[in-house]
């Protein structure tokens, strides 16, 4: 008799997938600013209680290198890249705090 696979129940969503319901975007141009934002989020929300979309460190490094080298040659303002941060729904005021820290 051939072995057949038993039907499996549908998997339920985890708590972690529902945790990050608020998203906001910050324009960052320097790697130092990104790590400052990460430090504030870890202090306020705790490590692992927030996330970002994609791989922001690579993107911010690339923009930071461009800004360091090309800012000396041209008087144009610094380039920025928009990074999407995802936080729990009970942390609505963190966005305004981060905007104030960056300005």
Write down the pLDDT at residue 6: 73
* Structural domain includes residue 74: yes
| Residue carrying structure tokens 């090309």 | 70
Write down the pLDDT at residue 16: 54
CB 52 within 8 Å of CB 84: yes
* Structural domain includes residue 52: yes
What does the DSSP assignment read for 36-56?
HHHHHHHHHH-TTS-EESS-H
Q: Which of 74, 73, 78 is nearest to 27 (CA)?
A: 78
Q: How many domains does the chain contain in total? A: 1
* Structural domain includes residue 16: no
Chain mean pLDDT for the chain? 83
Mean pLDDT of 43-50: 90
Whether the per-residue pLDDT at 17 is higher than 60: the answer is: no
Contacts of 19 (CB under 8 A, 6+ apart): 49, 88
Q: What is the CATH number of the domain that holds 54?
A: 3.30.70
* Structural domain includes residue 13: no
* Structural domain includes residue 7: no
* Structural domain includes residue 1: no
Percent of the chain with pLDDT over 90: 37
Structural domain harbouring 47: 21-102
């Amino acid at each position: 008799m051939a072995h057949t696979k038993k039907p499996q129940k549908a998997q339920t969503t985890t708590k972690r997938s529902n945790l990050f319901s608020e998203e906001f975007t910050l324009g960052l141009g320097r790697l130092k600013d990104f790590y400052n934002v990460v430090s504030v989020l870890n202090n306020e929300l705790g490590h692992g209680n927030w996330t970002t979309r994609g791989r922001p460190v690579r993107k911010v490094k690339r923009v930071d290198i461009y800004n360091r080298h090309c800012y000396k040659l041209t008087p144009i303002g610094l380039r920025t890249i928009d990074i999407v941060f995802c936080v729990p729904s009970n942390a609505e005021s963190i966005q305004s705090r981060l905007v104030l820290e960056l300005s």
